[in-house]
Structure 1
């Protein structure tokens, strides 16, 4: 199983009031927790292990890729629990694998 996190990035405030409030605590900086194609069950187990709720999972068509959003403290928890940190080059390679694995 491989679970990944990307870099923290400042995002525009979301439309949803609860998400906007949560994001404001961290300067609207967050990143994503995601997995290799076909390993979503492992992603959900990992997410639960670091305290994420299943209803926070985002997937197509509402999102471009299956993922959870992470605040800075949750990102730290994911890395401590064994998530692999991807830089921009690693993220590009991941998306190439993800696209190739799609039917």
Structure 2
């Protein structure tokens, strides 16, 4: 089980936000509690594409200190593809990352 944060930077008022999600809802909520993110900010389908929190960069830093794994902007897509067993999407993400690294 793992908690993830991505490297996106979305402006929200004066804050800069990123995403935090996990392999399980329980683990996500434990991390949210640990870094002081209110559970009322949990985003879930159908209003969101996947279960996650938008968090400020200061909260991201705390999550990383507590063991969250940093991923790129494709992390959420990869997470959804793994949940669905979508091997074609996983391969596509791998190809994009490879092209960007080269």
Distance in 1 (CA, whole Å) between partners of 2:32 and 2:39 is: 8
Which of residues 60, 64, 74 is equivalent to 2:49? 64
Contact 1:8 1:72 in 2 (8 A): no
Which of residues 31, 52, 55 is equivalent to 1:46? 31
- Compute the RMSD of aligned alpha carbons: 1.9
Number of the residue aligned with 2:81: 96
Stretches of structure 2 lacking an aligned partner (at least 5 in a row): 87-102
Contact 2:8 2:73 in 1 (8 A): no
TM, length-normalised to structure 1:
0.72
Stretches of structure 1 lacking an aligned partner (at least 5 in a row): 12-22
Distance in 2 (CA, whole Å) between partners of 1:68 and 1:89 is: 16
Q: Structure 1 residue 74 and structure 2 residue 59: aligned?
A: yes
Bigger RCO (CA 8 Å, 6+ sep): 1
Change (3 A) 1:10 1:89: closer
Which of residues 10, 13, 19 is equivalent to 1:24? 13
TM, length-normalised to structure 2:
0.73
Aligned residue pairs, count: 86
Partner of 2:7: helix, strand, or coil? Answer: coil
Distance in 2 (CA, whole Å) between partners of 1:88 and 1:53 is: 24
Higher helix share: 2
Higher strand share: 2
Number of the residue aligned with 1:10: 10
